[in-house]
Amino acid sequence: MIFSTLNSSNSSLMNAPIGFFDSGVGGLSVWREGVKLLPGEHTVYYADNAYCPYGAKDPDEIIARSIHIVDFLLQHACKLIVVACHTATAAAIDYLRMRYPVPFVGMGPAVKPAAQHSVSGVVGVLATRGTFKGRLYHETLAQFATDVQIIEQPGDGLVELAEAGQTDSDEARALLQQYIRPMLDAGADHLVLGCTHYPFFIPAIARIAGAHMTIIDPAPAVAQRIKSLLMQHNLFNTSGDDARHEFFSSGNLQAVREMAGRIMNNE
């Protein structure tokens, strides 16, 4: 693994990498599933943690940041770009797809499987405020969730705790109790995670929810979508070279290093 600040010289790769970006370390939950499913692919990950969190930012600011990051990833010859952030997907992906010819994969709210499999008819959604305001979220509700009760809960404070590596701290557990207990009391049997930072809280969430709630992380489905697009566009890396992973940060590189290290050491 290579960790670089933004003033590092660009690396010229023999085979084009897949680009990932997020407001911080959250997109590493998607990167983790991507490299697990596609171990032969090179990747470039950009954490925009100098501007994190995105959740409450104006959509125009998020679009501007996304353009800056995509330009950077294209300088690294990325063949496909994963917007590994629900808020950035909601604000910017339509614009990015119009502006650039490269294929994009975004984060969709995983309400459909939750609604389809819910027995109680009550589904909790833990997401950022920006995600709740997004067109895609409301279209998904209108298409797939008309027969279930949706309990929306903004996850204020969780992104900052994930960035600090405090996913199992007293503060994190207190916030999660505050956010999830009302869903359980209302009978929710599925919890949709609508921010890529939130899967890092799954062990803590599971201890609160017990066997009463199914937690839905959209990252594995996103990894499958990446694979599908690589196949569709004939973009698989067939060189046989060892996969190369580069990490860049606009702010705190140490946070990225520590989270990526935890993922690699665990898996």
Q: How far apart are CA 113 and CA 103, in angstroms?
A: 25
Q: How far apart are CA 153 and CA 156, in angstroms?
A: 9
Catalytic site residue 85? yes
**Lookup result for tokens 């404070």:** 157
CB 203 within 8 A of CB 172: no
Tokens of 144: 């797939």
Q: At what angle do helices 202-209 and 170-185 cross, to 10 degrees?
A: 40
Annotated active-site residue in 193, 195, 222, 256: 195
Phi-psi region of 165 (alpha: psi -120 to 50; beta: other; left: phi over 0): left
Beta-bridged to residue 152, according to DSSP, are 125
Report the half-sphere exposure of 118 (CA within 13 A, side-chain side). 27
Instruction: List CB contacts of 265: < 8 A, sequence separation 6 or more.
Output: none
Annotated active-site residue in 83, 85, 148, 175: 85
Question: Angle CA(222)–CA(213)–CA(201) in degrees, nearest 5?
Answer: 60
Catalytic site residue 52? no
CB 172 within 8 A of CB 204: yes
Active site residues: 85, 195
